[in-house]
Structure 1
Amino acid sequence: MARTDDSQRFGITRSRARGGYRGGSLGISKFIALGLVLVMGLVGVGPAYGAGFALYEFGARGTSMGGTMIGRADDPSAVAYNPAGITQLEGTQTMVGFSLVMPEGDIETPGNTTSIKSNTWIPPHAYVTRQMSDKIWLGLGIYNRFGLGTEFPEGWPGEYNNLFTRVKSLSFNPNLAYKLTDSVSVAVGAEVMWFDFYQKRMVGQALGGMRAELEGDSWGVGGNIALHYKPSDTWALGLTYKSRVKQTIKGDATFKRNPTAMALGYFNNTSAEGDITLPDSFGLGIMFRPFEKLSLEANAIYTLWSTYDKLEITYGDALTPGSPLGDNKVSSSQKNWNDVWRFQFGAEYDLTDLIKLRLGYVYDQIPDDDEYADYMTPTNDRNIITTGLGLAWDNLSLDFSYSYLWFGERTIKARPADGVLDSTFKDGRTHLIGTSLSYRF
């Protein structure tokens, strides 16, 4: 979600278990209970930083390889990357972890250079998969598909567009996977998503200015389908589709009014409501293993951000009742975002039975044109280099990832009505550190 005009604007190593079903120690009731434990452990979800505001940090192993798990799909994070791949996982397997996301950057406006305030966002992830028979698997995932965190110092030149914007989401994603043949599996899942939005900015410049805050949340429902094809240990292919999710965010708009606004009866605290349709996406991944210890993968993800064409907010009460400019009960801003591509490349090398080495690269397009860009997502097309390490002992695995994101300078023209000045986004970079702990029962 983004700003409105007058009140607002984130592995277990390759499974060696192959072949027929081998009953595990957990029954279906314990499987569900384990999933609930994972949910309770992730209540404190935080936002992150992605193109638009889509997230891809679904597990440390995948992140260290640039997210290239659509074709591999061979650890519990496959629930998020490609749930059809969980048919490769024997018995009951789990994964929990988190990422630390630390964005930095500067915005140059006429006569000023302002740095984005330093923050660390912490998106979590947790998965459990269960083999029910030779043909049927269940998977549960709790992770973030969308998130954003951008904060500026009080009094900066762009404060009438944004001071602080935070988007949080949490998806609960149960999946059913079915093995059609020894090499082909399919999956279908439901997604129940909680979405939370908060923004602080200045409004009422003609009245001397005052701080406005908007906060609200929503629940939405979507789904996903997936295919995994692995004709041999040398090749694997994955296809995924994640649906769009409509959110109707309801909350409150509050204002720290100055004497002029109070005398006129303007900008009283009120309820607020707005709709946003979060985009659907398609993913394709091809994995190739040139020899036993090395696997390579390339992915392409297409996200339909054109669902985000405008943002309209309806307030419970008019913000400026009786004003010659109108009652201002509905605020609308054009977004007109574009559908975009994300290309991912990754490699994993089995140095020893204990140690796995990983590398990756990502090119991620942004969806907003210069004429609609603002200070909620002050970025450009981004490049990401990733690396990581995996350690495995019997049924336990521990994975680490590090990613460095950067983008080139971007210049946008002033839009006074939106609080946007002539600006250059520069020195944009983000450090991402992740870890995941996995266990096979």
Structure 2
Amino acid sequence: MRVATLSIIASATLVAGGYKIPENSVNATALCAAYVANAHGADAAYYNPAAMVYNDDVGFFEADATYIGLPPIDFSGVSGEYSSKRENYLIPTLHYASGKLGNSSARVGLSVVIPAGLSKRWDDIVPRSTAQEFTLRTIEINPSVAFALSDTVSFGVGFRVLSSEGVVKSTAAVSRDMEGSSVDYGYNLALMYKPSSAWKLAATYRSNIDLTLEGDAKLYVGAPIGTPVYNGDVSVTIPLPAALNLAAAYTFGSGTTVEAVYERTFWSKYKQLDFNYPVSIAPLTPYFDDPKAKNWENSNSYRFGVTHTMDAWTWMGGLEYDETPVPADTLGYELPDSDAWVVSLGGRYQIDSQWNVGLSGLFDVKKSRDVANSSINGEFSNARVYLVTAGVEYRF
């Protein structure tokens, strides 16, 4: 069912609070995504299109691949002890930034990234009754253009095309099996100010995209898959929320750049999960048709990155504190999210005037979380995320 995608997106365990994936290049992984004011090269097209204006007057192309590993999350509570399944993913991304267009200052860019998704699966009886599988796959195509407004100020704008597909399954006395896809649209804006050769200040904004899923659902009474009650259309709308980034970077004479980024993600847009069917699905209405309160909260991320450039080598490291948007009273097995500390390291090597290669890694440690609400009473622990990104950039 196309709509299932959305349920999925709203319930994946990801690399940031909620279901976002902010690391979509070697540099972003190496710096914990503290890569806005100092964005440069091909991936500036995604992280700060206004920064493309300050690239060298050549074309840049970058291809990356990111491994994401999600070890099992443990739960211990009144109902028992369970562990989710291990998840492993390989995610490709592409970035392009042009040289100057003719005699103008304008540049164009294109990024193909994975902005959200992944999966959470449980085999034990209690968690699989609501979250046997929630899987989301997304691809975003993001063309952009940038202009110099003056010698020190530039502006960028982009158009976002987001394709999503997913799977939702739960097995209990009442069961569901859904899968589907959707295409939705948004935009992004960027503003950059260089008051001196050492300082860079930037602000970027990514719009909310409502994922308007439509698809098919199969609903059953009886476990594991019993008497079919409904086989037909379903729809749901869930937000991929807007995000505002404010960043400042300073470059010392030694070739070291430090950057601080504050991100505000407007998760309060996600108030409920409400599946809609064209006909009555009684007697399953209380399970699959009644709106489920989410009431997520706007959240903050605080990122700090250091980049040191040598002759052929560039070394990077990052630190981040990431708040979860998920309140305790609506938290479930589909997304047992919590606040997290994140650390990262990486490097790039300039092979010659055209080619460079990079490798970076990130470790996300989520805090243990006690939950006592209408459906869960216990503690989630040992939530971790591992990322390794490898990539190559070409100048032409």
Please state how far the C-alpha of 1:257 moved relative to its aligned partner: 5.5
Secondary structure (helix, strand or coil) at the match of 1:72 reads coil
Structure 1 gap segments, 5+ residues each: 11-45, 204-208
Please state how far the C-alpha of 1:297 moved relative to its aligned partner: 0.4
Pick from 234, 244, 269 the counterpart of residue 231 of structure 2: 269
Asked if 1:138 is matched to 2:102, the reply is no
Partner residue in 1 for 2:357 = 398
| CA deviation profile, 1:354-401 (whole Å, cap 9, x unmatched) | 222111001111001100111121121011000011111221111111
Question: Hey, what's the Cα distance between the residues in 2 that align with 1:294 and 1:255?
Answer: 58
Partner residue in 2 for 1:238 = 202
Partner residue in 1 for 2:190 = 226
Letter in 2 for 1:102: G
Partner residue in 2 for 1:114 = 82
- Equivalent pair of 1:47/1:121 in contact (CA under 8 Å): no
Partner residue in 1 for 2:135 = 166
- Equivalent pair of 2:34/2:305 in contact (CA under 8 Å): yes
Q: 1:372 to 1:262 in 2, by over 3 A?
A: closer
| CA deviation profile, 1:8-61 (whole Å, cap 9, x unmatched) | 658xxxxxxxxxxxxxxxxxxxxxxxxxxxxxxxxxxx9954310011012111
- Equivalent pair of 2:13/2:19 in contact (CA under 8 Å): no
**Superposed counterparts of 1:19-30, under 5 Å:** none
Larger Rg, first or second structure (1 or 2): 1
Pick from 185, 193, 197 the counterpart of residue 154 of structure 2: 185
Secondary structure (helix, strand or coil) at the match of 1:314 reads coil
Question: Hey, what's the Cα distance between the residues in 1 that align with 2:288 and 2:176?
Answer: 15
Secondary structure (helix, strand or coil) at the match of 1:159 reads helix
Please state how far the C-alpha of 1:72 moved relative to its aligned partner: 0.5
Question: Hey, what's the Cα distance between the residues in 1 that align with 2:254 and 2:106?
Answer: 28
Letter in 1 for 2:233: S
Question: Hey, what's the Cα distance between the residues in 2 that align with 1:427 and 1:382?
Answer: 11
Partner residue in 1 for 2:169 = 200
Q: Which runs of 4+ in 1 moved over 6 A?
A: 259-263, 325-329
Question: Hey, what's the Cα distance between the residues in 1 that align with 2:289 and 2:377?
Answer: 27
Q: 1:259 to 1:51 in 2, by over 3 A?
A: closer
Asked if 1:429 is matched to 2:396, the reply is no
Q: Mean alpha-carbon deviation: is it higher for 60-69 or for 294-303? A: 60-69
Letter in 2 for 1:433: V
**Which TM-score applies when normalising by structure 2?**
0.91
Partner residue in 1 for 2:344 = 386
**Superposed counterparts of 1:24-423, under 5 Å:** 49-89=15-55, 90-104=57-71, 105-110=73-78, 112-131=80-99, 132-133=101-102, 134-153=104-123, 155-203=124-172, 209-255=173-219, 258=222, 267-320=229-282, 323=283, 330-350=289-309, 352-393=310-351, 394-415=353-374, 420-423=375-378
- Equivalent pair of 1:47/1:166 in contact (CA under 8 Å): no
Question: Hey, what's the Cα distance between the residues in 1 that align with 2:68 and 2:223?
Answer: 40
Please state how far the C-alpha of 1:414 moved relative to its aligned partner: 4.1
Secondary structure (helix, strand or coil) at the match of 1:123 reads strand
Residue identity over aligned pairs, in percent, reads 22
- Equivalent pair of 1:8/1:201 in contact (CA under 8 Å): no
Secondary structure (helix, strand or coil) at the match of 1:121 reads strand
Q: 1:82 to 1:317 in 2, by over 3 A?
A: same
Question: Hey, what's the Cα distance between the residues in 1 that align with 2:288 and 2:90?
Answer: 36
Paired positions, count: 386
Please state how far the C-alpha of 1:329 moved relative to its aligned partner: 7.8
Over the residues paired in the alignment, what is the CA RMSD in angstroms? 2.5
Question: Hey, what's the Cα distance between the residues in 2 that align with 1:257 and 1:437?
Answer: 52
Please state how far the C-alpha of 1:177 moved relative to its aligned partner: 0.3
Please state how far the C-alpha of 1:262 moved relative to its aligned partner: 6.3
Letter in 2 for 1:118: R
Please state how far the C-alpha of 1:249 moved relative to its aligned partner: 0.3
Please state how far the C-alpha of 1:422 moved relative to its aligned partner: 1.1
Secondary structure (helix, strand or coil) at the match of 2:51 reads helix
Give the structure with the higher percent strand: 2
Secondary structure (helix, strand or coil) at the match of 2:184 reads strand
Q: 1:368 to 1:218 in 2, by over 3 A?
A: same
Question: Hey, what's the Cα distance between the residues in 1 that align with 2:50 and 2:196?
Answer: 16
Question: Hey, what's the Cα distance between the residues in 1 that align with 2:324 and 2:86?
Answer: 22
- Equivalent pair of 1:172/1:193 in contact (CA under 8 Å): yes
Q: 1:8 to 1:396 in 2, by over 3 A?
A: closer
Letter in 2 for 1:72: N
